Amino acid sequence: MVHDPSTVVRDGGDAWCFSTGHGVVVLRQDGKEWKFEGTVFPRGRTPAWHKEAVPENRGHLWAPDVIEIGGRWCVYYSVSSFGKNTSAIGMASRRKPGPGTEDDPWEDKGLIVSSGRGDKFNAIDPALVRDGRKLWMSFGSFWDGIMLIELDPKTGLRKDAGEKPIRLADAPEIEAPFIHMEGGWYYLFVNWGKCCRGADSTYEIRVGRSRKITGPYEDRAGNPMVGGGGTLVLGSEDRYIGPGHASIYQRGSRQWLVHHFYDGEDRGASKLRLVPLKWKDGWPVVGD
């Protein structure tokens, strides 16, 4: 079971991906197959601040992303409880992107951003992107939608905790942002619909673009994403139901859209999928 996959990264000859699960799931590909390697935090050994920030959380950590900063791999992840915006995004770092062990644990770097009942955003679903010398993190779900904050490119921590998050997109049901730079444009991928319902999930991947990372983002028809715009990239088709949590993996000149789906031929089990991605008239297109 793979849900909310991170960006796929390479270290040496292996590809690595992180996903939702107790302690953050670690996956490795040493050929064609993806294998479960362990978790970032061993069961029952999550940082103490998780309980302080989100008392209802039970160690099930959502929607991680990973990026290399200063020779260390940094994993960002969500601490939350379903349907509430009492949430936090944390970060841990390590020299190698494998599972945490007694001898080589992931080092807790603490809380990056949090939200509570009085906020109009939800601090989940982090996604990292470099823009020149700057480092940014998009995040968000429902409420007022998708947000963006700037991080310190040397530490990976929030640059200015007092700075208000920038709102990038909203819709009745929206989450799982990912920003990708291509051909002079910034592309904001998001999910619309409901997740986590197996074969009954209504997730679909949408996109808009902007000349600036901070927006405004518009879909192909010119509709602003702050206001419900978003061009369909990938929806349910055949056994591949509710595709979600997109990112882009690139090797050489080839690109793949990384996402999970609910398998209609396997009782709605969530699985990892990479499909070829190309660009046509300035917009992403999936398929061979």
CATH number of the domain bearing residue 13: 2.115.10.20
| Listed residue (36, 52, 117) closest to 90, CA to CA | 52
Reported as a pLDDT band with limits 50, 70 and 90, residue 82 is confident
Looking at residue 33, its pLDDT comes to 86
Dmax over CA atoms of the chain, in Å, equals 53
pLDDT, averaged across the chain: 95
User: Average pLDDT in the 266-273 region?
Assistant: 95
For residues 179 and 247, give the distance between their C-alpha atoms in angstroms, rounded to a whole number: 8
Does a structural domain hold residue 25?
Answer: yes
Does a structural domain hold residue 38?
Answer: yes
User: Average pLDDT in the 101-130 region?
Assistant: 94
* pLDDT > 80? residue 32: no
* pLDDT > 70? residue 225: yes
* pLDDT > 80? residue 31: no
Catalytic residue among 150, 170, 175, 219: 175
Does a structural domain hold residue 112?
Answer: yes
For residues 65 and 178, give the distance between their C-alpha atoms in angstroms, rounded to a whole number: 10
* pLDDT > 70? residue 288: no
Q: Are 88 and 149 in contact (CB under 8 A)?
A: no
Does a structural domain hold residue 232?
Answer: yes
| Distance from chain centroid for Cα 186 | 16
DSSP state letter for 287: -
Whole-number percent of the chain with pLDDT over 70: 100
Return all residues near 30 (Cβ < 8 A) that are at least 6 apart: 13, 14
Look up 175 and say whether it is catalytic.
yes
Catalytic residue among 4, 65, 125, 204: 4
Does a structural domain hold residue 3?
Answer: no
* pLDDT > 90? residue 257: yes
* pLDDT > 70? residue 105: yes
Does a structural domain hold residue 155?
Answer: yes
User: Average pLDDT in the 265-284 region?
Assistant: 96
3-state DSSP assignment of residue 200: helix
Q: Are 195 and 204 in contact (CB under 8 A)?
A: no
Does a structural domain hold residue 2?
Answer: no
Does a structural domain hold residue 51?
Answer: yes
Containing structural domain, residue 164? 9-286
Q: 3-state SS of the chain: helix, strand, coil percent to 5?
A: 5, 50, 45
Specify the pTM: 0.96
For residues 63 and 203, give the distance between their C-alpha atoms in angstroms, rounded to a whole number: 15
The structural domain count of the chain equals 1
Looking at residue 13, its pLDDT comes to 84
User: Average pLDDT in the 175-179 region?
Assistant: 97
For residues 166 and 72, give the distance between their C-alpha atoms in angstroms, rounded to a whole number: 27
Return all residues near 199 (Cβ < 8 A) that are at least 6 apart: 241, 262, 264, 267, 268
Look up 4 and say whether it is catalytic.
yes
Q: Are 129 and 213 in contact (CB under 8 A)?
A: yes
User: Average pLDDT in the 231-242 region?
Assistant: 97
